[in-house]
Structure 1
Amino acid sequence: MSWDGHAGAMLLGELRLPAGAWYPWHEHPVHQLVWAAEGVVAVGIGEAHWVLPPTRALWVPAGVPHRTGAVANAELRGVYADPQRCPVRWAQPRIVAVEPLLRELLEYLTGDPAPEARERAEAVVFDVLEPVDVAPIVVPSPEDPRARDVEAMVLADPADRRGLAELGRAVGASERTLARAFVRDCRMTFGTWRTQVRLRASLPLLAEGLPMTTVAHRVGYATASAFVAAFRRAVGVPPGAYFTTAVTATRATTSPRSIARS
């Protein structure tokens, strides 16, 4: 990635990413807007995890280590912004709503328009960037070996309804020992941790547009209403709104004017 000979504040490219493919952990000296024009992509940053259909993108500030992969076959757009010419000052990753206007502008800029037209389009891109007020889903990994065995079982089947005592018998540890390990290593109770696992597992299913009852049952909830309530408490919006373009936060305090790649 280089701005040599490039007049704009943004660099854009396109790449097909097959389902299940992941880029290893990496970082960029520039800001990135991770967005797929088609398909579904996922981004991991530390212990946080986002799933992004075409209606959502993720702003990754320069220098933040991350990994990107495809949940379903994806047409990934590399959108990168030069920090020296970018007015957006978000210090943390932010979910962005991809409304039709933003989508069309990004597609237009991918086509490498003339310098003056590019400058005008870039200015509009940053004017229409809208952050979505949702919390990332965080699933820390425990360090205790027996808790790691429990982690493997729950990750393999988030709908597993066994309690910690039953899971403990399967790995040779007491319920109390495991409960302490999760609080110590993950900074949350096992119950909260398992909720986060279930909600993370629900994101690709929601992105596919599966019925809410189907999603709830697949990740371990007896009813859709119980799943919706847990999702809202943890993420801040109901699952039906997570991937739509209707729930947005207040516009960025810094008026945007330029971008660049994933």
Structure 2
Amino acid sequence: MLLGEVPLPAGTWFPWHQHELHQLVWSASGVVAVRTGDAGWVLPPTRALWIPAGVRHRTGALGRAALRGIYAHPDRSPVSWPAPRLVAVRPLLHELLEYLTGEGVAPAARLRAEAVAFDLLEPLDVVPIVVPLPADPRARDVAAAVLANPADARSLAEFGRDVGAAERTLARIFVRECRVPFGTWRTQVRLRASLPLLAQGLPLATVAQRVGYSSASAFVAAFRRAVGVPPGAYFAG
């Protein structure tokens, strides 16, 4: 393993890039976000993201964060997941990652610690939240409005009057270009917008209201259907 540490001020984003090495993205403090294509993850210190070599991605800080970049050569890594995987960072792995980041670790001790760290990489069975964007300029304007305010409750017909397109036309565009109906697409936007709020520890009722749900139970049900686990399990320590 190779390790690097970057202190990130809030709102800092790296440009899109890729690595020849596998990378484990983790924040020792604060909350970071990672985008790979249309998929997105939010990572408090209890979560990390394994990014296989060659996967184009972008990383940023939602608040002040201590970002760890932990790298492994593909030909020497016992982990070979072909796609990004969310990983649980439990206390022992947390301490090992901090230990490996420190100075003065002898080579033999480093190899032993790395072997244990690899053994502790526990993938979580969650579905990434994917928000593809349409190319059609009318649908793109609708998408921009929803992204700017996920709680916006306007119907597709109401959006259509603002952008000069019929409801059916917009509905066909979202299915064709985003591969999901508009309602499903908006749900994904709302769930992605909820992740930073959940990572901050805000109450479920507050998060639900901010992203457009009438109740915490409705939000939790939507989150579980889309992601595979309830919000509490996604961010559990």
> Shift of the alpha carbon at 1:211?
0.2
When normalised by structure 1's length, the TM-score is 0.89
Q: 1:118 aligns with which of 95, 98, 110?
A: 110
When normalised by structure 2's length, the TM-score is 0.99
- Give the equivalent residue in structure 1 for 2:80: 89
- Give the equivalent residue in structure 1 for 2:44: 53
Q: 1:201 aligns with which of 193, 197, 211?
A: 193
Q: 1:34 aligns with which of 9, 25, 34?
A: 25
Partners of 1:223 and 1:106 in 2: CA distance: 39
Is 1:150 equivalent to 2:138 in the alignment? Answer: no
Unaligned runs of 5+ in 1: 1-9, 246-262
- Give the equivalent residue in structure 1 for 2:217: 225
- Give the equivalent residue in structure 2 for 1:65: 56
- Give the equivalent residue in structure 2 for 1:76: 67
* Structure of greater relative contact order (alpha carbons < 8 Å, 6+ residues apart): 1
Is 1:138 equivalent to 2:117 in the alignment? Answer: no
- Give the equivalent residue in structure 2 for 1:15: 6
**How many residues are matched?**
236
Q: 2:227 aligns with which of 223, 235, 238?
A: 235
> Shift of the alpha carbon at 1:33?
0.1
Partners of 2:6 and 2:40 in 1: CA distance: 21
Q: Which has the higher helix share?
A: 2
Please give the root-mean-square deviation of Cα atoms over the aligned residues, in Å: 0.6
> Shift of the alpha carbon at 1:240?
1.4
Partners of 2:140 and 2:158 in 1: CA distance: 15
Unaligned runs of 5+ in 2: none
> Shift of the alpha carbon at 1:198?
0.1
Partners of 1:25 and 1:13 in 2: CA distance: 18
> Shift of the alpha carbon at 1:102?
0.3
Once the two structures are aligned, what percentage of the paired residues are identical? 75
Partners of 1:87 and 1:78 in 2: CA distance: 18
